[in-house]
């Protein structure tokens, strides 16, 4: 049935929001070299990260930091996906 195939495809290509659902932006330390604090409930730890840092499973990269969010980037099946964590 077409419905079953759609859900199988969804599992192969996980939505980024599902992969980051256990991540919480705790705060942004705004400076010339801003840092973000991101809490992972899955790993039960808090990361302090700068732009360009990678962390977590699956591996996420901090693409950019704004005053109110962190832009995360990850490779999904050879494609780069972005997600804004607020």
Tell me which of 7 and 47 has the higher pLDDT: 47
- Contact of 73 with 58, CB cutoff 8 Å: no
Provide mean pLDDT across the span 55-78.
91
Q: How many whole angstroms separate alpha carbon 63 and alpha carbon 81?
A: 11
Q: How many whole angstroms separate alpha carbon 35 and alpha carbon 64?
A: 10
pLDDT tens per residue across span 3-19? 555 555 445 555 677 77
- Give the global pTM: 0.79
Percent of the chain having pLDDT more than 90? 59
CA atoms within 13 A on the CB side of 66: 8
Least confident of 9-13, 19-23, 40-44, 57-61: 9-13
Provide mean pLDDT across the span 30-53.
96
Instruction: Report strand pairing: 45-50 vs 23-29.
Output: unpaired
Residue 71's contacts (CB-CB under 8 Å, 6 or more residues apart) are 62, 63, 64, 65, 82, 83, 84, 85
Where does the pLDDT of residue 56 fall: very low under 50, low under 70, confident under 90, or very high at 90 and above?
A: confident
Closest to 11 (Cα-Cα) out of 79, 80, 77, 82? 77
Provide mean pLDDT across the span 33-56.
95
């Amino acid at each position: 049935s077409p419905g079953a195939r759609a859900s199988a495809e969804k599992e192969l290509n996980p939505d980024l929001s599902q992969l980051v659902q256990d991540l919480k932006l705790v705060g942004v330390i705004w400076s010339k070299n801003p840092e973000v604090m991101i809490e992972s409930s899955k790993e039960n730890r808090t990361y302090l990260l700068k732009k360009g840092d990678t962390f977590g499973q699956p591996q996420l990269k901090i693409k950019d930091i704004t005053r109110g969010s962190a832009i995360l980037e990850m490779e999904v099946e050879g494609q780069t996906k972005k997600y804004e964590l607020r």
